[in-house]
């Protein structure tokens, strides 16, 4: 008998994946959690029926949400990740030699525990002594840590349910205050194909707070449409104008210094969402 995972995040479209093996399913305090092994994408983390990351394509998301802000900032030392319990963002952040500390603020401890067990390729840096794990509400944590971080990365689930408060102007104002004077923030901000209103709303909210606000794109096969947006807000530094010639070379599979600039060149229908 064939087993298929059907993701119905988008109301009028679904994505399906043939499952080789179900590794774990459980209901945590916050959500339904599953890790399955698929034929096309390898092991896959699924929360509330929505694919979060897979072994085959996770590097795209994790490299783009981290290296764009970290290479834009001239000297990032302290980094906060809100969400991101799979550990992929932490893994990429710690490739930067200037980083002294990463705080992972994840509301669901069981996501971290199960990813350590089943997705070690992604979660491998969570035991690094530079990484501090805080289990709790990201909104509350940001509110309580003013002027504390050089970079804040909002590696959240989609803007429904528990993650809804992580999308919006009031939270971005809190992030602004959480950042140091040269600080930069990045958030994953959904697909312009299926959720253009979310992309437009997040961009406008961020722009109302940050002097420099930019939208950039990446191709992530397992996310709806395969075409994904990120929104960057910066107090000072423009990611398209930064000099990358002297930055350290790191091991990546998707991010390049050329792509750093190119990913901000948007198709017209996406650019229109920023106007």
CATH number, residue 144: 3.40.50.150
| 86 annotated as ligand-binding | yes
| Claim to verify: residue 43 and residue 128 sit in the same structural domain | no
> Is residue 166's pLDDT more than 80?
no
Mean pLDDT, range 56-66, rounded to an integer: 98
| Claim to verify: residue 195 and residue 219 sit in the same structural domain | yes
Q: 64-112, pLDDT tens digit by residue?
A: 999 999 999 999 999 999 999 999 999 999 999 999 999 999 999 999 9
* Rounded-to-integer distance, Cα 176 and Cα 33, Å: 32
State the burial class of residue 4 (Cβ atoms within 10 Å of its Cβ: 0-12, 13-18, 19+).
exposed
Pair of tokens at residue 224: 């709806």
| 189 annotated as ligand-binding | no
| Claim to verify: residue 35 and residue 62 sit in the same structural domain | no
Boundaries of domain holding 131: 58-274
Token pair 């950042």 is at which residue?
179
Helix or strand or coil: residue 233? Answer: strand
Whether 155 sits among the annotated catalytic residues: the reply is yes
| Claim to verify: residue 43 and residue 95 sit in the same structural domain | no
42 neighbors 26 (Cβ within 8 angstroms): no
| Claim to verify: residue 185 and residue 270 sit in the same structural domain | yes
| Claim to verify: residue 46 and residue 66 sit in the same structural domain | no
Which one from 57, 108, 150, 155 is the annotated catalytic residue?
Answer: 155
| 48 annotated as ligand-binding | no
Give, in degrees to the nearest 5, the angle at Cα 193 between 188 and 197: 70
pLDDT band at residue 169, thresholds of 50, 70 and 90? low
Tally of structural domains, the chain:
2
Given this model, what pLDDT does residue 163 score?
Answer: 44
| 249 annotated as ligand-binding | no
* Rounded-to-integer distance, Cα 108 and Cα 115, Å: 11
**C-beta neighbour count of 225 within 10 angstroms:** 17
> Is residue 189's pLDDT more than 70?
yes
Pair of tokens at residue 54: 């897979």
254 neighbors 218 (Cβ within 8 angstroms): yes
Token pair 């764009």 is at which residue?
68
Given this model, what pLDDT does residue 11 score?
Answer: 77
Given this model, what pLDDT does residue 262 score?
Answer: 98
| Claim to verify: residue 166 and residue 44 sit in the same structural domain | no
Token pair 């990358």 is at which residue?
244
| 62 annotated as ligand-binding | yes
| Claim to verify: residue 207 and residue 192 sit in the same structural domain | yes
| Claim to verify: residue 71 and residue 44 sit in the same structural domain | no
| Claim to verify: residue 42 and residue 156 sit in the same structural domain | no
> Is residue 247's pLDDT more than 80?
yes
pLDDT band at residue 7, thresholds of 50, 70 and 90? confident
3 neighbors 22 (Cβ within 8 angstroms): yes
| Claim to verify: residue 20 and residue 80 sit in the same structural domain | no
Alpha-carbon dihedral sign for residues 48, 58, 190, 148 = positive
């Amino acid at each position: 008998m064939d087993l298929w995972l059907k993701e119905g995040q988008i109301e009028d479209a679904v994505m399906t994946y043939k499952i080789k093996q179900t590794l774990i399913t459980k209901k945590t305090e916050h959500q339904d959690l599953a890790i399955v092994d698929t034929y096309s994408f390898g092991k896959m983390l699924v929360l509330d029926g929505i694919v979060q990351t897979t072994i085959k394509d996770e590097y795209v998301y994790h490299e783009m949400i981290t290296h764009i802000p970290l290479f834009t900032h001239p000297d990032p030392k302290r980094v906060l990740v809100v969400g991101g319990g799979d550990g992929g963002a932490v893994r990429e952040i710690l490739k930067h030699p200037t980083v002294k500390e990463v705080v992972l603020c994840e509301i669901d401890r069981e996501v971290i525990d199960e990813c350590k067990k089943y997705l070690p390729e992604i979660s491998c840096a969570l035991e690094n002594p530079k990484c501090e794990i805080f289990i709790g509400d990201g909104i509350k944590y940001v509110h309580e840590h003013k002027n504390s971080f050089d970079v804040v990365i909002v590696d959240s689930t989609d803007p429904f349910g528990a993650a809804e408060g992580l999308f919006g102007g009031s939270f971005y104002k809190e992030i602004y205050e959480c950042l140091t004077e040269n600080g930069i923030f990045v958030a994953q901000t959904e697909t312009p194909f299926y959720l253009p209103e979310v992309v437009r709303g997040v961009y406008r909210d961020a722009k109302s707070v940050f002097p420099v606000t930019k939208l950039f794109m990446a191709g992530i096969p397992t996310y709806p449409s395969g075409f994904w947006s990120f929104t960057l807000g910066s107090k000072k530094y423009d990611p398209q104008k930064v000099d990358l010639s002297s930055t350290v070379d790191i091991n990546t599979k998707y991010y390049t210094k050329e792509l750093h600039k190119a990913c901000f060149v948007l198709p017209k229908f996406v650019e229109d969402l920023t106007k």
